[in-house]
Amino acid sequence: CNQTGQMLAAMLGWAQATFASNIAINGGEAEVTREIDGGLQTIGVKMPLIATTDLRLNEPRYASLPNIMKAKKKPLDEKTPADLGVDVAPRLSVLSTVEPPKREAGKILGSVAELVDKLKNEAGVI
């Protein structure tokens, strides 16, 4: 789900760009390229903005075993949100959660001709 970035942008009143695969910042504007069903889409967005990213934005870096062992020996500083001056009071409340209504089971048809007939005569799709 990609709702956190969109909700944050709405709460801050900032622009948003979702599923970014490339971001170029030029002064007070960002050029964001995103993958859509038909190919690539490039949009210009004024700063400040919230951008959510696609997997192709960065090449992942993998830690080597010696570096993992070194990291285990390093001290870990733990900080609370209060140490950073961050207010963590909830700003969102869930009013209700409702299950979707039950659907009847699907029907298995015997042939393509039967499917076309039902789409044409019952559903009125074709």
6-43 pLDDT per residue, tens: 999 999 999 999 999 999 999 999 999 998 888 899 99
Nearest 5°: CA angle at 30, between 26 and 34? 135
Look at residue 65 and tell me if it is in a domain: no
Domain total in the chain: 1
Look at residue 115 and tell me if it is in a domain: no
Look at residue 88 and tell me if it is in a domain: no
Predicted confidence at residue 62, as pLDDT, reads 92
Q: State which residues form the domain around 8.
A: 1-58
Q: Which residues contact 5 (CB under 8 A, 6 or more apart)?
A: 16, 18, 50, 51, 52
Look at residue 52 and tell me if it is in a domain: yes
| pLDDT, tens digit (0-9, with 9 covering 90-100), for 38-97 | 889 999 999 999 999 888 778 888 999 999 999 999 999 999 999 999 999 988 888 999
